Structures are given as structure tokens and as C-alpha cells.
Structure 1
Amino acid sequence: MESLIRKNIQDLVAYKVDAPQYEIIVNANESPYDFPMILKRQFTDDICNTDLNRYPEACFPELLNELSAYTGVPTDGIICGSGSDELIAMINQAFVNAGDVVVSHSPSFDMYNIWAKISDSKHIRILDLPGHIPDVDGIIKAACDNHAKLLYICNPNNPTGYTFAKKDIIKILDAVPSLVVLDEAYIEFFGESDVDLLPNYPRLLILRTLSKAFGLAGIRCGYALGNKNIIDVLYKVKAPYNLNVLTQKMAVIALQNRDKVFKNLEEIKAEREKAMAVLKELPSLTVYPSGANFIYFETPFAEKIYEVLLNRSILIKRFKETGSCPESIRFSIGKPKENQKILEIIKEVVYNEA
């Protein structure tokens, strides 16, 4: 059997996620607030009047119209996928040959590396400068020197939370030969999208999702924004019916009612700042600024914090030490009482261990 597996897949570690059987879950950067019940009922009514024996719209025209209204990008510059994950897969399928070079900053989203390995390309990860500052000049040099096919920029970045200045994104776009994939999964928490750059940069592709700020991680709906020529290429590798009718219907309702859906955004950002202020006061924690719905901090007590929280039915994200990064924690912002409980436990661990 092993001889039948592609060599680049044999050593690939599967991306597995923890079963969400915990009292509090703050490990996956999801919204702590469920989709509004009034909109769920609207969805239920809509589905009851939908023929489920037919395939869904293959090119999702109603959804594209709503996304165009939300982003300002023409419908022929938008494509949808089952979360950003599928879109990253499609990008690799369409543009990356075995042996091509992919560049990203590091640490960042794991799926960039996983899909680089699946496509049998060479992934060059440019480590952050001290203090988790993206090495913009290093990114440019790596892309240019290696004629990189793809370059990923995650803004705000997962897991560190930092953001790129627009001038630095423009600097990268002006310098590199690559298709630049700008991942804006958390942009609603930051509020400063670079979608306005699309008309002037035909090699720019922006990834977005309804999983985070829209509170719809469960429906798996992501989308990409770009030049029509790039989007047309992605349609060539898109599965015919990659978004089921349930996902399309719920996504349309969310976009049409985004004021209701976004009512908790300011609270999440305020809770992030409150939690950050508490964490910054603790010894042996290095806390980094965040433009997303999570906080990243490095501490020698990361493993202990993770274990104690787990024993109290709280799932948080822990990163093990690597050659370039110490032990760290990514704390997705929950509801106020959840955040308070987590912070008290972290304080308890830190003061016991310090």
C-alpha cells in the first residue's frame, strides 16, 4: 500500500482537530456568539421552500450578488469555496507545479504549508523579526531570488495577531513576481481591508470567510476576490457543486442581515483589549498586539496553562516550542464570563509556577 502513496504525502502529518466536547472552547478563533435565532428561523423557512432533490447553483449567483454588495468587487471577480481551506487548495491546483516555490511569513496559518507539501512545491517561510514584526524585505528577497509562484500574506496574521501596514503590502506587490494571496480571514475585527488595491494589482488575490466575524464556521463558506482573469482560472479547478444549497442559503441571509450579525463585533474587540491588559500584567508572559479576535502570548508556562485549562473543560490553543518560537498560547476571545474564568485560571497557574 505504501508504495502507492505519493512520496510527498507519505510523511505529511494530517491536520486533525480536537473534538469540541468542552465547556468552553477558545482554540479555533470562532465567534463565541451563535448565529441569531431570528435568522435561523428565516433560513428554516427558506429551506422548507427549496427543492433539495436538485443540485445547488454551481456558480452561486445570489450569493455572488450579496458578496459584491458587501465588498464592492464585481461578481466576476469573486469565487466561493468550502471555507478558505478549499480556496487555498484550488489556488495550488491552478497555479503550483511540483518544484515551484511558495513563500510566506512565519509563524502563520498551517494550511499554507500543508498545501505546499501536497502540491510538492518548496515552501520558504520567512521568520518574523524580533518582537514578531514581519520581515517585509526578507519576504521580498525570498520571492524575487527564488521566482516564487505564490506568496501568502496573512493580515491580520494567525496566530500572532499582527497586521501589515498598507504601504508594506504595496511594497511587496510592487516588487515580487508572484501571485500574492492576501488572507483577510479576520479583517472585520481589524477594519482596514486592502480590497481597494485589486484594480491596480492583477496578481493580487484576497481570501475572506464567513467563519469568523459572521459566526458561521459551521456552514463552511469562504470566498476569494481578485482580477477576473485569476478568478476564471480558479473556476477551472472548482468542483461543480462545491457549496451545498444549505450553505448558500445561510450565507445569503447572513450577508443581507450583516448589521444584526455584526452586533457583537465591538464587544469582542473590547473584551480582547480587557484580556490583553490583564495578561500584560502577569510575569513571564510576552503578549503581542492583535488586530483579530484572539490574543497570542509566549510563556514558559504554556504547557501547564493548557493542561490546567483542559482539566477544567476549557480548550485553548497551545503551540509547542520550535527552533524559532518559544512555547505559546493563542486565546480566542469568548464571552465576558468565559474570558474572566480563563484569565483567573491563567493567573493562578502563572503565580504558582513563577
Structure 2
Amino acid sequence: MDRVRESAPQLSGLVPYDPKYLPARAMMSANESPLSLDHDLLHDIMREVKRVPFNRYPDPLANDLRDLIAEANGLDREQVLLGNGGDELLFDIALAWGGPHRTMINLPPTFSVYAANARLVGTEVVDIPRAADFSIDEQAVLDRVARGDIDYVVVTTPNNPTGRLAREEFIAQLLESTDALVVADEAYFEFSRRTVRMHLERHRNLVILRTFSKAFCLAGVRIGYVLGDAQVIRELVKVRQPYSVDAVSQAIARVVYANRAKFEPGIQMLIAERERMQVALRVVPGVKAYPSDSNYILVRLLNDDGSPASEAAAEAWQVLYGKGILVRDFSHSPMLEGCLRVSMGTPEQNDAFVRELKTFMLTRQARRRV
């Protein structure tokens, strides 16, 4: 045949998620850690990897790693599930709790994959936009779930790309108000130092998503996990891909998680850099830096009248990239007009970002006066 049948109708108009992966000297766009694993830890990892029987399939559920995570969180193995990064687990949630005639609540601006996953499986997406300061419209969410037709809600805490925690009191109230599955995406909780883990005992409808990609410096390995009620985990197991977490990734993650205390100095350094960057960005003309509880900061470039400077932000992204600094451009995204997101790098990288952004904004101001 010289033609092919059309793909599924839900793909029509769907734009694939694009992480904007580009080579750069300072990779400050994807919220990865700028730190490498230390030599002793790499040695332990290589020793563990050498023990992997490459001719055999891995443990389908990564039970040794499940046990480590369960013990650290005061849970049973049956309350933990591993995935090929948090992304796989988010799609599993959409498969298990979404689908035709089912509905989820999305809180934009937030991680675009939540809504994309929902639409892929035919789920209706109810958007409840955040306020101008990016806080959640809590009453609107509670009013909407009170109608009784919501199947799941994703609350990112801290939120990506805006950076702030959801109020724990709101999440607790939401859990009390609905039997919908409430997904608390805590991919960055090591940087916020806050978790809703304590609510798992009382609320079977809570699932907590976490990852090895950020604080544990393993973005390239692809390991994520969820904590939840055993019944919820059993439903997720029904839809997950078999052997999705390969044996090498399991071996690496076991060593890293067993040595997670070694990552604390690096986490503290990135938190300190975040606070230092907040102060430094306050004096950059025409730039508003939003408060953050994570390892990144959202900045908005402004016109003289205080409106978002979307074209200037897009130009700034180009200028920064020309200097070897890659940040994330949200300048034309809904509700994020004029915004760039910068991940915390090394102190030297952070200084370079502030310096080059300040130079760009001063040059722009001078041009506008001519």
C-alpha cells in the first residue's frame, strides 16, 4: 500500500513534549543537578554493575530497591512502585485512573506532561488556572471536586516551573473532600524540605511521586518511584510496562539510595545558591524573580510599564545560549509570558547567568532610550 491508516484521533493536534535539549557549557534548563557523583560512590556503583547478569531479565518490580525505599519511608514493599523515571509513572497513573468518560484536574501553569498524558488516553482535562502569583486557586479546586465526577488531581509541590510549594493544609483538605486519586508530585522535595508523606496513613487516595533525577544526580539513569496505598500500587502494576526499570539502573539506584546521606552537602549547596540567586536577581533591572522552594527560579522580564516582555525574554534566551548558558524559555507559554526558568548550577555558572542577564537588560534599556 502507498498509504497508512490514520493514527488514533486523540493524537490530532497534540504537540509532543519537547525538553529543548541542546548542548551547552552551562546546562541550566532541565532542573538537573550540576554535580557529579563522587569517586568513591562511582567505584561502588561500578562494582555493583559488574555483578549484573546482562543475559537475564531484571527483577520486574525492582524489589530490593523497593525494600530500601519502603524502609526509609516507614512503609511496606507493597506501598512502593519503581518506574522508568517519574515520567513512566505519571503515564501509568493516567492509564489507570484516566480514560474515556473520566476527568482529571490540572493546575496550570504546571508540568505540561500531566495534561498531555490525560489527553492521550482520552481523559477530559479540567484546567483550574493559578492566580497571578502562581498560587493555587484552592477554593475553586475544592468546589470542583465537590461535584463528585473527578477521577484524579495532580498537585505539584514544589510546582514546576513556578517553584513554590502547595500548602500542606490545602492538600489535607483536598484529600478529605474527595475520593479522587490525589497525586502529589514531589520530584523536588529534597530542595523544599517538605513532604506530605505523613498523610499516607489516613488517606488511601494519596499517591506521592518522587525521582532520582534531581537531588540524587541520576537524570541520565531514569529512576522514579511512587509511594501510596497497597491497593493503588496494585492497580498501577496492572498497567506498567514489564521490565521497565533495567537491571543496570536498579543496581545504580540501590547504591545511590543506600548512600543518600552523601548527597546532603550538595543539596544544601544548591539551596544556598537558590537563596543567593534570589538576592542577586532583585537588583537586575526589568527582571522579576519569583520565590522558589526548589532547585530552579522562574524569572519574568518586564517592559517599562510592568507588562511581560515576551520578545525580550526570547531574545535574552538566544543571547544567553550564545554565551554557552542554556536556560528554559517559557516566554510565549500561556500565563508564563516573558518568563525564563533557570536551574541552579555551580556558583560560577550562576554568577555567569546573572552577569549576562544583567548586561542584556542594561543594553536593552539603553537601546530603548535612544
Query: Please, what TM-score do these two structures have when normalized by structure 2?
Result: 0.92
Q: Which range is displaced more, 96-105 or 195-204? A: 96-105
C-alpha displacement of 1:281: 1.7
Structure 1 counterpart of 2:178: 176
The answer to whether 1:344 aligns with 2:355 is yes
- Which residue of 1 is the match for residue 305 of structure 2? none
Task: State the distance in 2 between where 1:97 and 1:39 align.
Answer: 43
Equivalences for residues 92-107 of structure 1 within 5 A? 92-107=94-109
Aligned residue number for residue 55 of structure 2: 53
Question: 1:161 aligns to what?
Answer: 163
Q: Distance in 2 between matches of 1:187 and 1:163?
A: 9
**SS in structure 1 at match of 2:71:** helix
Q: Which stretch has the larger CA shift, 29-38 or 12-21?
A: 12-21
Q: Identify the match of residue 325 of structure 2 among 284, 291, 314.
A: 314
Deviation at 1:188, TM superposition (A): 0.3
8 Å contact from structure 1 (residues 124, 142) kept in 2: no
Q: Distance in 1 between matches of 2:19 and 2:60?
A: 29
Name the aligned partner's letter for residue 311 of structure 1.
G
The 1:65/1:272 distance shift into structure 2, 3 A limit, reads same
In structure 2, stretches of 5+ residues that fail to align are 302-308, 366-370
Aligned with 1:219: secondary structure? Answer: coil
Aligned partners of 1:96, 1:75: CA distance in 2, in Å?
Answer: 25
Residue by residue over 1:145-166, the C-alpha shift from the partner in whole angstroms, topping out at 9 and shown as x without a partner, is 3611110000000000011121
How far apart are residue 120 of structure 1 and its match? Answer: 1.4
**What is the aligned partner in structure 2 of residue 84 from structure 1?**
86
Q: Which amino acid aligns with 1:223?
A: Y
1:18: Cα distance to partner? 3.1
Deviation at 1:326, TM superposition (A): 2.1
Corresponding residue number in structure 1 for 2:261: 259
Deviation at 1:296, TM superposition (A): 0.6
Separation in 1, partners of 2:64, 2:265:
24
Question: Which residue of structure 2 aligns with residue 21 of structure 1?
Answer: 23
Question: After superposition, what is the alpha-carbon deviation per residue over 1:83-127, rounded to whole angstroms, capped at 9, x for unaligned?
Answer: 111001111111212132110211111110110110111112211
Shift of 1:345: 0.2
User: Which ranges of structure 1 fall in alignment gaps of 5 or more residues?
Assistant: none
Distance 1:326 1:19, change over 3 A: closer
User: Equivalent pairs: percent with the same residue?
Assistant: 27
Q: Is 2:346 aligned against 1:335? A: yes
Q: Distance in 2 between matches of 1:235 and 1:259?
A: 30
Equivalence for 1:130: 132
2 CA distance for matches of 1:196 and 1:143? 22
In structure 1, give the amino acid aligned to 2:294. Answer: A
Q: Deviation at 1:16?
A: 2.5
* CA deviation after TM superposition for structure 1 residue 64, in Å: 0.8
**What secondary structure does 2:326 align onto?**
strand
Aligned twin of 2:306: none
Post-superposition offset of 1:323: 4.7
> Paired residue for 2:219, among 192, 205, 217?
217
- Secondary structure in structure 2 of the residue aligned to 1:334: coil
Secondary structure, aligned partner of 1:200: coil
Calculate the TM-score normalised by the size of structure 1.
0.96
Following TM superposition, by how much is the alpha carbon of 1:315 offset from its aligned partner in structure 2, in angstroms?
Answer: 0.9
User: Does the 8 A contact of 2:94 with 2:121 survive in 1?
Assistant: yes
Amino acid at match of 2:9: K
8 Å CA contact 2:99–2:118 kept in 1: the answer is no
Tell me which of 11, 14, 32 is aligned to 1:12: 14
Aligned residues: 354
